[in-house]
């Protein structure tokens, strides 16, 4: 394990122990990536990224604060629509900091969970993907729920081919992450998933073009 990542294990434990048993959540980002590639790929983790169902989240938040975490928001002034987002920041975009390390959690209504997962990225803009895209994995012996390698590949690829043209920060790292995912994804699963990913902008549901995710 990368020694810079020693903080991740206790922080993940704190989160898992703070979440009510029935609450839905999943990891994304580098923790999710390294949970799949731990035997072949390693890199520094800057923060832990989690999307959590808004239901019962007040309990999770209070439990983390009891464990010594300070609550902030992770909205940056450079974000698109940052002024509008800041109005919702304290109820949707949570940063929990302890010992200089960050646990970042975005909350959302996940829908009925039977066929698809809904994630509200911005107010009125929702991203949806098949419920089968949430899987069980582990990081340094800690069991957790995360997006599948195929969903993570779609997220990374979509990001590089859209806002990646404008936000060039860490672009080489993101490309390297995508190449590692490419080695382990199931291409048949990826093809099925890319045909069932949608963006809903207010009342308009649009299929995300597959070429942006492959």
pTM of the model: 0.88
What is the rounded CA–CA span in Å between residue 97 and residue 112?
A: 31
CATH of the domain at 16: 3.30.460.40
Q: Residues 148-191: pLDDT tens digits?
A: 999 999 998 888 777 655 555 677 888 899 999 999 999 999 99
Count the domains in the chain. 1
Give the pLDDT of residue 77.
57
Q: Residues 130-142: pLDDT tens digits?
A: 999 999 999 999 9
- pLDDT for residue 210 is more than 70: yes
- pLDDT for residue 144 is more than 90: yes
**Proportion of the chain in helix, strand, coil states, percent, rounded to 5:** 40, 30, 30
Confidence at 86, pLDDT banded by 50, 70, 90: low
Q: Range of 156's domain?
A: 3-212
What is the rounded CA–CA span in Å between residue 10 and residue 141?
A: 11
- How many residues in total does the chain contain? 214
């Amino acid at each position: 394990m990368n020694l810079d990542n020693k903080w991740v294990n206790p922080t993940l434990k704190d989160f898992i122990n703070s979440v009510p048993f029935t609450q839905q959540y999943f990891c994304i980002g580098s923790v999710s990536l390294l949970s799949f590639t731990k035997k072949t790929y390693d890199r520094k983790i800057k923060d832990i990224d989690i999307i959590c169902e808004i239901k019962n989240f007040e309990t999770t938040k209070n439990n983390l604060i009891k464990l010594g975490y300070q609550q902030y928001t992770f909205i940056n002034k450079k974000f698109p629509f940052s002024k509008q987002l800041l109005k919702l920041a304290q109820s949707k975009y949570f940063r929990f900091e302890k010992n200089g390390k960050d646990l970042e959690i975005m909350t959302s209504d996940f829908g009925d969970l039977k066929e698809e997962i809904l994630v509200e990225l911005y107010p009125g803009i929702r991203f949806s993907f098949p419920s089968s895209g949430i899987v069980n994995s582990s990081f340094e012996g800690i069991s957790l729920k995360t997006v599948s390698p195929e969903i993570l590949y779609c997220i990374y690829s979509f990001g590089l081919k859209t806002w990646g043209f404008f936000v060039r920060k860490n672009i080489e790292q993101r490309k390297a992450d995508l190449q590692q995912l490419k080695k382990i994804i199931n291409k048949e699963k990826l093809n099925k998933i890319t045909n069932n990913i949608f963006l809903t902008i207010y009342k308009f549901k649009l299929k995300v073009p597959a070429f942006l995710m492959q």
